Amino acid sequence: MASSSLSHQQSVESDPSSELEREGFSVCTKGYDAFINHRGPDVKESVASEIYNFLQRMEYRAFLDQPELELGDSIHSTIKNAITTSIVQISIFSPGYAESCWCLDELLLMLKTKARFIPVFCDVDPSDLRYPDKRVYARAFVEHEEKRRFSKERLQRWKEALHSSSLFCGYNFSTSNE
């Protein structure tokens, strides 16, 4: 792992490893320089892979679910560990992002860690995140509500996390510009 000039902030109020162990997760102590949160069908083969490959070339240790997850890994605990041990959190917001409860739950944890957060707005505008009930993500939230798999409180936390994410300085990216 390359020596990073990034300073690692305390991830959560308590030690993240202890918190995970209390929740029954096995904890891997290897940390990452960056965690890349994304919705696979939208950006895995393009933006997410490009960011991951760039970070690898710069000798940073980045976590992207594929190729970092290995056979036999617990997906949930491995991803949670990667989030809580990363110095930088990168979230790629795409038009289908809010359809994924995995993406939204990861976003909640990422914002909770207080690590440096960098949003990438890919084919969406930051204002789309400020108004998830009215813009690009409105349909996804209507579907979440109709399925009734998630509590109203959880849906509200997801909306608040999207709104909070829109207030960070990030990158605007359009796939139509290649």
Which residues participate in catalysis according to the annotation? Answer: 106
Neighbours of 118 (CB within 10 A): 17
Contact 110, 157 (CB under 8 A): no
Helix (H, G, I), strand (E, B) or coil at 65: helix
Contact 31, 8 (CB under 8 A): yes
Beta-carbon contacts of residue 148 (< 8 Å; ≥ 6 apart): none
Helix (H, G, I), strand (E, B) or coil at 167: coil
Distance spanning both ends of the chain, measured CA to CA: 30
Q: How many whole angstroms separate alpha carbon 115 and alpha carbon 53?
A: 21
Beta-carbon contacts of residue 47 (< 8 Å; ≥ 6 apart): 38, 92, 94, 120, 122, 173, 175
Q: Record the tokens describing residue 88, joined without a space.
A: 């930088």
